[in-house]
Chain A
Amino acid sequence: MWTIIEKEFLDNLLNQRLQVAILVSVLLTIGCIMLQASDYSRRLEDYRLADASQEEFLDGFKAAEVNMMSPQGLIPPKPLSPLVNGLQSSPALSFDQNYLVKMFPVLDLLFIVSVIMSLMAVLFSHDAVCGERERGTLRLITSNAVARPKLILAKWLGGSSSILLPLVISCLVGMIYISVSPRMQLGVADWLEVLLILLASLAFISVFYLLGLLVSSLVRSSAAAVLISVLVWAVFIFVIPNLGPYLATRIEPVKTADEILTRVSRGGWNRFYDNLEKQRDLNTQRYVQEYGQIFSQCLNIDHDKRELLVGEQAPDLPVKRIWQKYSKEDYEIQDNLHRAYYAKLDKLMDQARLETAKQTRLARNFSAVSPFSDYLYLATEISGTGLESREYDSRQSSAYWSQVNEYRRKISKAVENASGNTGPDLSGRPRFDYKPQPLAERLKAVLPFGAALLFFNLLFFTGAFVGFLRYDVR
């Protein structure tokens, strides 16, 4: 069997096509990694500058201006994003972004493996059986009492290892570049992630080699085999993954954020506003009844005159104290009702987020029928640029924002109580302390997709095995 494996391996290796393919893959991989690394270091520097600039800007705020502070929790670029762009490369577009990057994304290792190397794998395996039959060598081999199971197994092992050579060489050269490049400083955990991505890539390419082998074991001519193999490849790489999310929206439609806001604002806001006005009126009536003219005179005058009577610079008369008490209660009514309204809105939005998560899971399950999607989810999650990581980062940003809001409320209260003093200094404001999601958690989320890749390997191998056992070698 080792002889056959060696024969298959050398057949491919000495083939000019594979030599060209190795050269092209290595050059492309190096080129992509270099470009991406340069982009990564620019993004990292920009992140550091943006963070420093924000800190410096916020240092200039006084306690009385705390409600105008709206710091952003900045997420640094992921160290492995030069290899696997994932969601980093296509941020949700807004008014001021370069949308041509969305239309023509920059290539990364994920693309090279998933499109170019998988295509190579199909090209080199589509005539592994039918090609040999056409050349007449298959009949010779099988007539020499070589067991068919051993033959097909050796074809897979020998052939796929020759195809994996471009991947291994490209990744080795890429890793050498990364390790000597000052722009990318990877830690031990990062290198472990690189190794896991490499293993996932090996499993992925093997799937497509086996696909070619399967087709080859089922058809009689190479011409038909290549056509079927490449078309099935195209369906797996381009059709099924892209259709999955859209099918999911058909089955589990989700309201957009704008739709929810509009529905709530149309009905809910009017009701809220009416209720608010009613509560404020009741409170005002109560004060009029309790304090009579002394209070009413403040209500019925214009802002400037009222400022003279009850403003900060006005003398400390009973009317001022009554007005201040009224203002405080009026503010509390507004504040409480606002909070209740926005709590309701938040609840609707949370519900929509849950529905979106459900839709996402459904879409992922649909698209998992394609080995490309399984590999994409695995590779992006391992590198920290996938859906789960993004969700994790969003939760950190939301938690930080809640901390900032809490801090703002606390300081506002302190400023009120300070009455006339500048209030506390803001050096103790919350800082965003970003922590990436642990690898174990990310892997746990995408383990099923890794298992799916292994399943495809088994499925296609079994099909090729059975097909070859029954293959007419004449």
Chain B
Amino acid sequence: MLTTLMKKEIQHNLYGFKFQVIMLLTLLLVFSSVYVMYNDYSQRTRAYEIQLPDIANTSSLLKPSPLAIFDRGLDMELCSLYETHRDFGILSISNQKDFSSELFRLFNTPDLFYVTWIILSLGALLFSFNLVTAEKEDGTLRQMLASSVARSKLVAGKWTGGLICLVLPFTLAFMVSVTAVSLAPDVQFGVQDYLRLALFLIASLLYLGFFFSLGLLVSAASRSSAAALSISLLLWVTLVFVLPGLGNIAAGKLVAVPSYNRYVVQVRQAEMAERRASSEYESSGKKKDFNLREHDPERDAQVSDYRVRLARLISLSRDLIRLTPAGAYAFLAGDLSNTGVQEMLNLQRSILAYRDFSLGLPRTPSGRVSGEYPAFTYQRLSPGHVLVNGGLLNFALLLLQTTVVFAASYVLFLRYDAR
């Protein structure tokens, strides 16, 4: 019976106008986003290759991640040039800012993640918001229930059949895109990359499954399609935009961090003070050892304190935001693509650790490092590391949310008045 109901749902959807429109939109969006982001990746890789030979081995310049084609996340920031300057042994961290078009900052990156996160989640809701109410309004629901079809099987059939129709075009488009990208000459996917992509696909399907289930829940809780539509859209806006934004606000209220402007002024003052000190040192003709750590410890403490607070704020924000499906999916997709928050935090830790390590190296009296200066190296996180450090939790949260929503729609449908 369940298989029959699933088949019925699948056939009904395949011949329906709704499915055709959403399928067309999915294919169009997936292919165009991958095309656009592949070009973006190629341009960035070209720029990286031009720069690389002239970059000091004490600086951080990462090659763009090929998975940024699917989720660019923070890849621009990760691939910025972070130079550790040597000035009588004093190290500071800066990054060269690009003067590329500020217009990009007004809009979002149209990568596959964004398409799924915003548009396809809306599509999933539109696919399912009237699964129950439309049948009720047509009168077919009463007929089906009157022919002793078990409600549990009916709702399970609707959910499964509908979900298959929703995710098939997406999965197909995704696999074709991955194949096309892997054939590109400037992209080399390793085994780990394919594993990441498979996990990215699973995460995306889970996310779409959540919104599909949410639409079914709303439909099972509403008397009319019009009401179901309004409620669905309101929920979509709340879950995708409002709640994640609130996460940042709530964290900001709980963890006090000085503003970035004030921090930048403090850092500049620290740099100016260090330059003055080294200039005084030079002109005084002193011969004693140059102890870098004596340079304005108060300012060093201020900078460290800012970084510690910022890390705490980011950590708390992340924990609050991931409670929403949009947040959990965003973090998961980014981390799996090596372009997420985990990667950024890891890179920052590595750069700061390198800086501290270099400051501790034995130096000549004038402050220069004796012997060879150690190079900075960095390896992007492995899928295993990503999963163990929050990835599995994000997966579990998505699965739990989808399960809860489906369970609620199941229960509501069992009590639904089909008249």
Residues of A bordering B, CB below 8 Å: 17, 20-21, 24, 28, 35, 42-43, 46-47, 49-50, 53-54, 57, 61, 65, 68-70, 72, 74, 86-87, 90-107, 111, 115-116, 119, 123, 127, 222-224, 226-228, 230-231, 234, 238-239, 241-250, 253-259, 261-263, 265-266, 307, 349, 352-353, 356, 359-360, 363-364, 367, 376, 380, 387, 390-391
Flag if B99 contacts A356 (CB, 8 Å). Answer: yes
Residue from the list B76, B114, B264, B306 in contact with A242, Cβ < 8 A: B114
Secondary structure of the B side of the interface?
helix
CB within 8 Å: A-B pair count = 229
Residues from 88 to 116 in B contacting A, C-beta threshold 8 Å? 93-110, 114
Pick from A72, A123, A266, A390: contact of B265, CB below 8 A. A72
Rounded to whole angstroms, the CA-CA distance of A257 and B244 in the bound complex is 34
- From 234 to 272 in chain B, residues with beta carbon under 8 angstroms from any chain A beta carbon are 234, 237, 241-242, 244-245, 247-249, 257-266, 268-269, 271-272
Q: A17-B230, A387-B102 are in contact. Are A259 and B50 (CB under 8 A)?
A: yes
Interface contact B272-A101, CB-CB below 8 Å: no
CB distance A87 to B105 under 8 Å? Answer: yes
Q: C-beta contact mask, B275-288 vs A, less than 8 Å → 1, else 0?
A: 11001000001000
Given pairs A50-B261, A227-B126, A245-B103, 4 additional interface contacts (CB within 8 A) = A90-B106, A100-B341, A223-B134, A256-B100
- Rounded to whole Å, the gap between the CB of A286 and the closest CB of chain B is 29
B265: chain A residues at CB < 8 Å are: 50, 53-54, 72, 74
> How far is A229 from B385 in the complex, measured between Cα atoms in Å?
44
In this assembly, does B344 line the interface, its C-beta being within 8 Å of a C-beta of chain A? yes
Partner of A99 from B77, B122, B242, B245 at Cβ < 8 Å = B77
Partner of A65, one of B95, B118, B279, B307: B279
Closest to A230 in B: B126
Give the bracket for the number of chain B residues in contact with chain A: 35 or more
Indicate whether A253 sits within 8 Å of B40 (C-beta atoms), given known contacts A72-B264, A239-B29.
Answer: no
Write out the residue numbers on chain A whose beta carbons fall within 8 Å of the beta carbon of B279: 65, 68
User: Which residue from chain B places its CB closest to the CB of A36 in the assembled complex?
Assistant: B249
A239 to B32, CA, bound (A): 10
**Of the residues B47, B263, B268, contact of A70 by C-beta under 8 Å:** B268
Q: List 19 A-B contacts (CB under 8 A).
A: A21-B230, A50-B264, A57-B272, A61-B276, A94-B95, A223-B17, A223-B130, A226-B229, A227-B21, A230-B122, A231-B21, A231-B126, A242-B107, A243-B110, A244-B107, A250-B39, A259-B47, A349-B99, A359-B101
Which B residues are CB-close (under 8 A) to A352?
99
Tell me whether B389 is interfacial, beta carbon within 8 Å.
Answer: no
Residue B105 contacts which of A21, A90, A391 (CB distance < 8 angstroms)? Answer: A90
Inter-chain contact A91/B99, CB cutoff 8 Å: no
Residue ranges of B at the interface with A (Cβ–Cβ < 8 Å): 17-18, 21-22, 25, 29, 32, 36-37, 39-40, 43, 47, 50-51, 53-54, 73-74, 76-77, 80-82, 93-110, 114, 118-119, 122-123, 126, 130, 134, 225-227, 229-230, 233-234, 237, 241-242, 244-245, 247-249, 257-266, 268-269, 271-272, 275-276, 279, 285, 306-307, 310, 313-314, 317-318, 321, 327, 330, 334, 341, 344, 348, 351
| Shortest Cβ gap from A234 to chain B (Å) | 5
Contact assessment for B330 and A46 in the assembled complex, using a CB-CB cutoff below 8 Å: no
The answer to whether B241 and A107 touch across the interface, beta carbons within 8 angstroms, is: yes
Chain B residue numbers with a CB within 8 Å of A104 are 244-245, 247-248, 321, 327, 330
Which residues of the partner chain A approach B334 to less than 8 Å between Cβ atoms?
103
Contact B96 A105 (CB under 8 A): no
Q: Decide yes or no: A65 and B276 within 8 Å by CB, A96-B260, A100-B321 being known contacts.
A: yes
Q: Are B314 and A54 in contact (CB under 8 A)?
A: no
Known A103-B330, A107-B242; contact A238-B229, beta-carbon cutoff 8 A? no
List the A side residues contacting B36 at CB < 8 Å: 243, 246-247, 250
